[in-house]
Amino acid sequence: MTPSAPLPDAAPTNWVDTYAPAPLRPWLKLGRFDRPVGIWLLMLPGWQGIALAAAMMGKLPDMRLLVLVFLGAALMRAAGCAYNDIVDRDIDARVARTAGRPIPSGQITVKQAWGFVVACCALSFLILISLPPLAIGLGVGSLALVAAYPFMKRITWWPQAWLGLTFNWGALLGFAAASGQLSLPALLLYASGVFWTLGYDTIYAIQDIEDDALAGVKSSARRLGEKAPRAVASFYLLALAFALAASVVAGLGLGFSIGLIGMAIHLGLQARRVRIDDGALALKLFRSNTGAGLILFAAIVAGSWVPGS
């Protein structure tokens, strides 16, 4: 693989490899900007939390907060990915899908990567301090989850569960940013997101089962083996159940129920198609979860105003 070639889990025509100046490409790849699905998956729980708080007040989501969460998610996802690559650089060098990343391939040094992490965190902090105090506290608290995540694959078969705790923290932060408090619906939405992530990241991990085994890296996909498709279906069912519980406690109406049916169909089709021996399909199914997250966001918004609510 040449330094300028698209990475295996990036679209061949991604904007970084197609349009970005060559000197910037390693930096953009370090932050995974060539694979923006992760930004969506980190951002959407925050949008859902904002929408849930607004729906409980009979309002539409605050556009300013949605923009801030988008920017914060993009920056913190970049920082988190760079930090993850610093910690995992030796493992990444032994895994085919990750060997071409900027650090293990020698395009960016560890010291330079740390500078990138600090810069992204500093910009994110400027966004965070514009939010209410509770949201600021939650944002700072999320750093513990982020810091621990790269080590989970070394000590547990369920690093995907830890990723769920980390990626969906935005549901709590977004709710707190919009309402200034936390309540049971936000906690139920967070639980829903944790199981959603456990499902889609198990699918993602199917790509690396053989390489992870050689490198001694643990994952839910390795632990579950042939049971992975059924397990993904169970995780998604729990995600839907917690989302429904959040809507009931929050008093959302018919619009949410209609949207949740759409999300159930989306996730059900994913789970039905999962194959433990098809990494290319796993990546495709994983990417489709941006659609699932957007459906839930739209359902929460609709639950506050569709007739029958």
pLDDT digits (tens, 9 = 90+) for 57-103: 999 999 999 999 999 999 999 999 999 999 999 888 888 888 899 99
> What's the pLDDT score for residue 3?
53
Residue 309 has pLDDT above 70, yes or no: no
> What's the pLDDT score for residue 304?
84
> What's the pLDDT score for residue 285?
96
Percentage, residues of the chain above pLDDT 70: 97
> What's the pLDDT score for residue 189?
98
Token readout for 91 is 């493992």
Amino acid at 123: L
Percentage, residues of the chain above pLDDT 90: 86
Per the confidence metrics, is the pTM higher than 0.75? yes
- Angle at the Cα of 136 from the Cα atoms of 156 and 240, rounded to 5 degrees: 50
Residue 2 has pLDDT above 60, yes or no: no
Residue 157 has, within 13 A of its CA and on its CB side, a CA count of 9
Least confident of 89-93, 115-119, 154-158, 249-253: 89-93
Residue 235 near residue 198 (C-beta atoms within 8 A): yes
- The mean pLDDT value of the chain amounts to 93
The mean pLDDT of 166-175, rounded to a whole number, is: 97
- pLDDT tens for each residue of 198-238: 999 999 999 989 888 888 889 999 999 999 999 999 999 99
> What's the pLDDT score for residue 215?
82
Unique residue bearing structure tokens 């159940």: 241
- pLDDT tens for each residue of 210-220: 888 888 889 99
Residue 284 has pLDDT above 80, yes or no: yes
Residue 9 near residue 283 (C-beta atoms within 8 A): yes
Provide the residue ranges of all domains of the chain, joining segments of one domain with +.
16-302
How far is 224 from 221, CA to CA, in rounded Å? 5
> What's the pLDDT score for residue 4?
60
> What's the pLDDT score for residue 11?
84
Range 16-302: architecture per CATH:
Orthogonal Bundle (1.10)
Residue 250 has pLDDT above 90, yes or no: yes
108 vs 2, residue with greater confidence: 108
Identify the band that residue 34 occupies on the pLDDT scale cut at 50, 70 and 90: very high
